[in-house]
C-alpha cells in the first residue's frame, strides 16, 4: 500500500505540474484550470451526497450538482471577458444557490419531516465544496494573469509538503496521539513535522517562484514566508481533521473508494479546501507588506 501511495502521489504531482505549465503558457490564463475546477466540484458533490446518504439524508442531487457547478464556474465569468482581477461572482451565485435549495425543497414537500434538514445540508454542500473551491479559483488571479499562478501553487505546495512532513515524521517519531478518536494515526510529532515541511515549501515558493513570475518582481520579508507556512500548514491539518469528522459521523472510512490508497476526491482536497481562505488572507497581508 505504501508503494502504491507513493506512486500515485508522484503521478498526481506530475499532473499538477503539467497543468500549471500549460496554464502559464495559455493565451487565456486559467483556461486549463477552469474545467478541472468544475469537474472537481461535480465529483466532490457526488461524494458529499454519498456520505450523507449513509444517514438517510437525501438533499436533491440536481440542486447540489447545479449549485456547486454554478458557484465554481461563476469565478471564470470575468476571465472570459479578459478581466483577471478577483471578483464577487461566486458570492452572488452562492446566495442564488441558497434560494434554489429552498425552492427545490418547497417543490418536493409533501409532509413535515426532513425538509429543513435537507435544505441545511444542501447549503452545507454549497459552502464546503462550491465556496471553498471558489476561493482556490480566486487565488489563481490574486496576483494577476500570470503571477496569480504563484498564489495558487503556494497553497498546493505548502499543504502537500505539510502532508509529507506529517506522514514522514509521524511514521518515524510519532508517539503522542493528536486526535485519537477522530484520526488515530495522527500524532503531535507528525504535526510538528508538518509545520517544518510547510515552512520549507513556503520558502521555496515565495523566494524562488514568486520573484520569477511576478511583474514587477515581488519579494517578501522572511517573516511573511514563515507566517504563510505556519498558518497554511495548520489550516491544512485542520481541514484533514474536519473531513475526518464528517466521515466518522457518517460511519465511513473514506469519501469514496475510486482511488485506492487515497480514497476519494474529498480525501485529496480536504486540507487544500480548508487552507484556501487562510492562504488568501495571508497573501493579502504579504501584498500589503511588500
pTM exceeds 0.75: yes
d(CA 189, CA 198): 14
Report the mean per-residue pLDDT for the chain: 88
What pLDDT digit, counting tens, does each position of 95-139 carry?
999 999 999 999 999 888 889 999 999 999 999 999 999 999 999
**From 28-32, 106-110, 154-158, the region with the lowest mean pLDDT:** 28-32
CA distance 163 to 235: 12
18-27, 111-120, 201-210, 223-232: the lowest-pLDDT one: 18-27
pLDDT of residue 1: 52
Residue with cell 500570470: 146
Q: Is the peptide bond before 144 cis (omega within 30 degrees of 0)?
A: no
Q: What is the pLDDT of residues 64-107, one digit of tens each?
A: 999 999 999 999 988 888 888 888 999 999 999 999 999 999 99
Model pLDDT, residue 123: 97
Considering only the C-alpha atoms of the chain, give the largest distance between any 2 of them, rounded to a whole number of Å.
62
CB count in 10 Å sphere of residue 235 = 26
Mean pLDDT, residues 163-173 taken together: 87
At which residue does the C-alpha cell 465544496 appear? 129
251 secondary structure, DSSP code:
T
DSSP letter, residue 112: S
Amino acid at each position: 500500500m505504501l508503494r502504491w501511495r507513493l506512486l500515485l502521489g508522484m503521478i498526481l504531482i506530475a499532473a499538477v505540474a503539467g497543468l500549471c505549465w500549460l496554464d502559464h503558457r495559455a493565451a487565456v490564463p486559467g483556461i486549463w484550470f477552469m474545467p478541472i475546477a468544475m469537474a472537481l466540484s461535480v465529483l466532490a458533490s457526488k461524494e458529499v451526497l454519498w456520505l450523507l446518504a449513509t444517514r438517510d439524508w437525501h438533499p436533491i442531487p440536481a440542486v447540489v450538482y447545479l449549485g456547486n457547478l454554478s458557484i465554481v464556474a461563476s469565478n471564470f465569468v470575468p476571465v472570459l471577458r479578459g478581466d483577471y482581477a478577483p471578483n464577487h461572482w461566486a458570492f452572488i451565485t452562492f446566495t442564488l444557490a441558497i434560494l434554489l435549495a429552498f425552492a427545490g425543497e418547497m417543490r418536493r414537500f409533501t409532509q413535515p419531516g426532513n425538509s429543513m434538514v435537507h435544505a441545511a445540508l444542501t447549503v452545507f454542500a454549497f459552502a464546503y465544496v462550491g465556496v471553498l473551491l471558489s476561493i482556490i479559483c480566486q487565488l489563481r488571479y490574486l496576483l494577476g494573469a500570470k503571477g496569480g499562478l504563484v498564489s495558487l501553487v503556494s497553497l498546493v505546495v505548502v499543504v502537500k509538503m505539510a502532508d509529507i512532513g506529517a506522514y514522514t515524521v509521524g511514521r518515524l517519531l510519532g508517539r503522542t496521539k493528536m486526535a485519537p478518536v477522530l484520526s488515530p494515526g495522527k500524532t503531535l510529532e507528525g504535526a510538528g513535522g508538518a509545520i517544518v515541511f510547510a515552512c520549507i515549501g513556503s520558502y521555496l515558493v515565495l523566494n524562488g517562484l514568486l520573484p520569477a513570475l511576478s511583474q514587477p518582481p515581488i519579494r517578501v520579508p522572511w517573516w511573511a514566508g514563515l507566517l504563510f507556512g505556519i498558518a497554511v500548514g495548520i489550516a491544512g491539518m485542520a481541514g484533514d481533521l474536519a473531513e475526518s469528522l464528517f466521515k466518522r459521523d457518517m460511519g465511513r472510512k473514506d469519501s469514496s473508494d475510486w482511488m485506492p490508497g487515497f480514497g476519494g476526491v474529498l480525501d485529496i482536497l480536504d486540507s487544500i479546501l480548508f487552507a484556501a481562505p487562510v492562504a488568501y488572507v495571508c497573501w493579502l497581508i504579504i501584498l500589503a507588506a511588500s
